[in-house]
Amino acid sequence: MKVILLSDVEGVGKMGELQDVNDGFGRNFLVPRGLAVLATKGNVKKQDEHVRALIRAREKIVKAAGDLRERIEAATLTLKHKTGADGKLFGSVTPKEIAEAIKGQLNIEIDRKAIRLEEPLKMTGSYTVDVHLGTGVNAHLKVEIEQE
């Protein structure tokens, strides 16, 4: 019996796949629980259309993330902090502060969790910060920390 999986089923396959399963397993387990539908011509056609729609939506998201990456990489973010005599900051610059500065200076909404710092920035100077924009697109933001 051929079925189209509506969700991931361990040992059988992943959502959207066309699988050949035993008649009893499909009829008594997969279909009644809503894990699969029979692979009729109509269901296969509907599934193919759904997959194409998902691919188009993903391409739009990747294109938007690429445009956003270009805007972020073209900009330089300037932050002013109180410092000691040797250029060491009182406190540190965190991803949350960088996200707020991006919103204020570049008018781009970025989640603080998308900003990747190996460790908080604690000295004045220029830094390059990785910003994860999703779908495998990363941007490198130039951040300059100056004395207030």
Q: Which pLDDT does position 57 carry in this prediction?
A: 93
Q: Identify the bridge partners of residue 4 per DSSP, sorted by sequence position.
A: 18, 37
Q: Which pLDDT does position 24 carry in this prediction?
A: 95
| Predicted confidence (pLDDT) at residue 96 exceeds the cutoff of 90 | yes
pLDDT 10s digits, 69-83:
999 999 999 999 999
Q: Which pLDDT does position 118 carry in this prediction?
A: 87
Q: Which pLDDT does position 136 carry in this prediction?
A: 85
Q: Which pLDDT does position 123 carry in this prediction?
A: 93
Percent of the chain with pLDDT over 90: 83
pLDDT 10s digits, 107-119:
999 999 999 998 8
pLDDT 10s digits, 52-69:
999 999 999 999 999 999
The answer to whether the beta carbons of residues 33 and 24 sit under 8 Å apart is: no
Q: Where are the alpha helices (DSSP H) in the chain?
A: 23-25, 41-74, 95-106
144: left (phi > 0), else alpha (psi -120 to 50), else beta? beta
Q: Which pLDDT does position 146 carry in this prediction?
A: 93
Q: Which residue segments constitute the domains of the chain, with CATH numbers given? A: 2-63 (3.40.5.10), 75-147 (3.10.430.100)
